[in-house]
Structure 1
């Protein structure tokens, strides 16, 4: 049964409690952000509070240990949503009551509840700008804040940065392979892992180089115009009730003159021939045709011969490898609709690890999961406009003809920069990818970017390991 405290929370959300106490909609609003976390973040925060550690100054860094297979780089994305989240970091009285009603925190210190009731993010954040290429073990972001705050934000930060970085990297690779002139459209909403993910996927894809999205809500929220053609169902429905595929095309153009048409519901070559006759007769205008199945190389070549001035868009589980093969085989395709393979796939396995507390460097030494201690900076060097190498060093080090990548974006809980536009991020993505050596951009067996560990960081690793070995019972 729903408790009175849980009922209050459901009422605030304008939801009716079920007999089982379940919220069947599971919709998400910005008011819910602080509860969108793993339980252990809250239990750890309670423990820190009980042990009088909650206000100790802590530094956590978010990075990947290794790149996904056949990825030579990642494109950092999702920072804008991280900053929005940190600005809205709050716990309402009804949320706290719902937490208390679980009984999980019965032994938590009273100070824990007052801490959450007054919660605001008051720390600093350093991050690489969105659209920047990064490599394994390089922090995309560093949070410096009181320990309880830095701990609680982990789950949400990983969620948005991991997913948007995955989609942005795939989008950047697709643009790199397809070339600057190809029209690339994001069609992944129905395959994204959730409605929320579909919005993030659309944003990340646009910011990393795609031209438009079919997601109407995402497009309008981002100040863009949504794009799309039609589904086979429209052609089949009108053909079945009015007599032919040609009548379906005529009907669609009656309301959307000149719009692209999907021509492979039945026979794409026959459809192209009929459209060519109508074009030659001046009966219609046509912005493009889409092929969604079959031998795209042969079909596109035949359609091009029949409709020489009409752009051809291809879709159907395409990825960067398939596009590269289509181009190599001589396909006559001007653009691509990209869905499943763009918004799903091998995840970016970002992690968020404590690297310093109270000025004391710490590191994880588990087999295969070693982390580097101390607050770090990425120092990037260039030669003839190309990335030469990265040096992962400590924040106390100075660049030597290098560009520091991590920038201060939040200071004492306040943003330090104005939000960037998609156009700005897209431009940075293109420049960042273009600056990478060819072997890093390869689709097959790429050579990941070179990252050198600085002498100072090497020394700190050794000192940290030695300190732990000398004092294995230390609290740190």
Structure 2
């Protein structure tokens, strides 16, 4: 009895752990869809086809930003949606009012019973490097239900994958050692765009965000300092009401911290090494920096370009930082938000190094320099070519709006129904779908780099390490190659099995997804990653699937008749 009770408790705990919360954004509901999904659902129901078993692939046709890779993101939100997919009475009433009056009452009873208990979702792991034509998701289930998932799934994956890819490209150009900060909240397309941008920029390799709500929701580190308004809001040292600051170790208190700051400013001005570099600094800026340091002595980072970076901002910052140093604190650094960032960062670094050498302040030359001001991939590349001393980049508009490309263009195509493969044809070959339920593999070479992604029919043998396999371009007869893989990775895993007794992949924490993205990018061959003229990554099908695609293509395409 005790053993049975223990087993029952363990099963209850397991079920509790497996409960999946609803979507992060409450706007994501079964109604976040296009009208034609509901008109099709009714037509399926009316024709008695609504429960026919269908298989759909979600994929994209071309990598974004002129590159040769994409980062897959948005899976967790899709699983959260289907785990909680259920129409409320209010939602059903709205659908009834929207559809034509001729729609029968039985359809709305059908909608009341709908959930995703009979849907299966096989997916590539979130945070993976992915390529065109390879299914990101394979969704199986009753055709009417799966069609209702089409639009929300596309909505949840298109932007997420686009911004994660954009972030990864910025990380690649900036380099591994630089701190990347997402500063896009005020420029994003609405609150949901801002929240998504913070989350998926973090997956793509950014280190922190200014977005406090994103920090709360996802545990992303939050960073930020003050604005120009804070600096220009001060006019006189009389505005500093509380001038005392306790030593970091609590041993004593400096009763007039502002006087200590001014003493240091005078030392800097008449320093032999710095003589003639600056004259009278802006005193209201000095007051603002002092006030901010009094509020945040352990986190003092100053925006130094409100008036003049080298003649005022840097000397004023250094005076405050040195006064803090006397009391056992270490200033974090400066932020540059305008001007010639390469030149100013180099001059600021020289200033810091001179102070370290002349006054013996340990590591002052390593004081952090952050740059912002409408940065993008191109400006980061230009800064690298010019030479700079920036340690961290705050990037906003061009990152979160994906300014260089508006959308990824994921599509959701029927590839099988009632075990019968289906194909979508087009005069544009890039829009021809790859039919049937497929398995997808990544084949790795001797040096550990991925060589090719290959799609096979569901029942074909799994590619084996050390055995030669013919990889064919899906549509070009002459493009083919033999590959002898040294490692084979199956890409599609079951994240939603429909049947609760069937094993599924657990949704990993956000940091684990981010780490996966970083590791996958490091595995890629450098020529696939370069910004200009990257080598296209090969996506192929097995010989058997190639033959079947073209058999079905000829079978489905109408035959013309010449008169």
- TM-based fold match above 0.5: yes
- Counterpart check, 1:155 vs 2:151: yes
Q: Which deviations, in whole Å up to 9, do the C-alpha atoms of 1:64-106 show, x marking residues without a partner? A: 111224121001011011100111111111111122223x232
Counterpart selection for 1:322 from 350, 354, 379: 379
How high is the TM-score relative to the length of structure 2? 0.75
- Secondary structure of 1:379's match? strand
Q: Using a 3 Å threshold, how does the CA distance of structure 1 residues 214 and 31 change in structure 2: closer, same or farther? A: closer
How does 1:184-199 map onto structure 2 within 5 Å? 184-199=180-195
Q: Which residue of 1 aligns with 2:351?
A: 306
CA contact (8 A) 1:361 1:373 kept: yes
Q: Using a 3 Å threshold, how does the CA distance of structure 1 residues 240 and 75 change in structure 2: closer, same or farther? A: farther
- Counterpart check, 1:399 vs 2:463: yes
Q: Which residue of 1 aligns with 2:514?
A: 426
Q: Distance in 1 between matches of 2:202 and 2:68?
A: 21
Q: Distance in 2 between matches of 1:462 and 1:285?
A: 68
Counterpart selection for 1:77 from 73, 76, 95: 73
The 10-residue stretch of structure 1 (61-70 or 47-56) with the greater mean CA deviation from structure 2: 61-70
Q: Which residue of 2 aligns with 1:260?
A: 301
Q: Which residue of 2 aligns with 1:275?
A: 317
How high is the TM-score relative to the length of structure 1? 0.89
| Structure 1 unmatched ranges of 5 or more | 1-27
Q: Which residue of 2 aligns with 1:115?
A: 110
How does 1:309-388 map onto structure 2 within 5 Å? 309-345=366-402, 346=405, 347-368=407-428, 369-383=431-445, 384-388=447-451
Q: Distance in 1 between matches of 2:303 and 2:540?
A: 51
Aligned CA RMSD, in angstroms, stands at 2.0
- Counterpart check, 1:228 vs 2:212: no
Q: Distance in 2 between matches of 1:215 and 1:167?
A: 16
Q: Which deviations, in whole Å up to 9, do the C-alpha atoms of 1:294-346 show, x marking residues without a partner? A: 11100100111112221111112222232122122111010111111111221
- Counterpart check, 1:94 vs 2:94: no
CA contact (8 A) 1:171 1:208 kept: yes
Counterpart selection for 1:437 from 518, 521, 525: 525
CA contact (8 A) 1:135 1:448 kept: no
Q: CA deviation at 1:238?
A: 2.4
Q: Which residue of 2 aligns with 1:7?
A: none
- Secondary structure of 1:316's match? coil
- Secondary structure of 1:305's match? helix
- Secondary structure of 2:45's match? helix
Q: Which deviations, in whole Å up to 9, do the C-alpha atoms of 1:41-66 show, x marking residues without a partner? A: 11111111111111011111111111
Q: Which residue of 2 aligns with 1:410?
A: 496
CA contact (8 A) 1:184 1:336 kept: yes
Q: Which deviations, in whole Å up to 9, do the C-alpha atoms of 1:258-309 show, x marking residues without a partner? A: 3321111111112112222343454564102111111110010011111222
Q: Which deviations, in whole Å up to 9, do the C-alpha atoms of 1:366-390 show, x marking residues without a partner? A: 2222111112232111121211111
Q: CA deviation at 1:470?
A: 7.5
Number of residue pairs the alignment of both structures matches: 444
CA contact (8 A) 1:127 1:409 kept: yes
Q: Distance in 2 between matches of 1:453 and 1:440?
A: 20
- Secondary structure of 1:224's match? coil
CA contact (8 A) 2:71 2:164 kept: yes
Q: CA deviation at 1:239?
A: 4.3
Q: Using a 3 Å threshold, how does the CA distance of structure 1 residues 277 and 233 change in structure 2: closer, same or farther? A: closer
- Secondary structure of 1:396's match? coil
Q: CA deviation at 1:216?
A: 0.6
Q: CA deviation at 1:350?
A: 0.7
Q: CA deviation at 1:466?
A: 3.0
Q: Distance in 1 between matches of 2:235 and 2:454?
A: 62
Q: Distance in 1 between matches of 2:397 and 2:535?
A: 26
Q: Which deviations, in whole Å up to 9, do the C-alpha atoms of 1:195-248 show, x marking residues without a partner? A: 112111111111222111111111111123421112212112224895611111
CA contact (8 A) 1:380 1:391 kept: yes
How does 1:275-294 map onto structure 2 within 5 Å? 275-281=317-323, 282=325, 285-294=330-339
Larger CA Rg, structure 1 vs 2 = 2
Q: CA deviation at 1:126?
A: 0.6
The 10-residue stretch of structure 1 (279-288 or 226-235) with the greater mean CA deviation from structure 2: 279-288
CA contact (8 A) 2:41 2:50 kept: yes
- Secondary structure of 1:389's match? strand
- Secondary structure of 1:430's match? helix
Q: Distance in 2 between matches of 1:119 and 1:471?
A: 41
- Counterpart check, 1:182 vs 2:178: yes
Q: Distance in 2 between matches of 1:90 and 1:263?
A: 53
Runs of 4+ in 1 over 3 A off after TM superposition: 28-32, 239-243, 277-285, 469-472
Q: CA deviation at 1:396?
A: 2.2
Q: Distance in 2 between matches of 1:150 and 1:181?
A: 44
Q: Which deviations, in whole Å up to 9, do the C-alpha atoms of 1:397-425 show, x marking residues without a partner? A: 31233211111111016582322112211
How does 1:38-57 map onto structure 2 within 5 Å? 38-57=34-53
| Structure 2 unmatched ranges of 5 or more | 1-23, 240-282, 353-364, 466-487
- Secondary structure of 1:238's match? coil
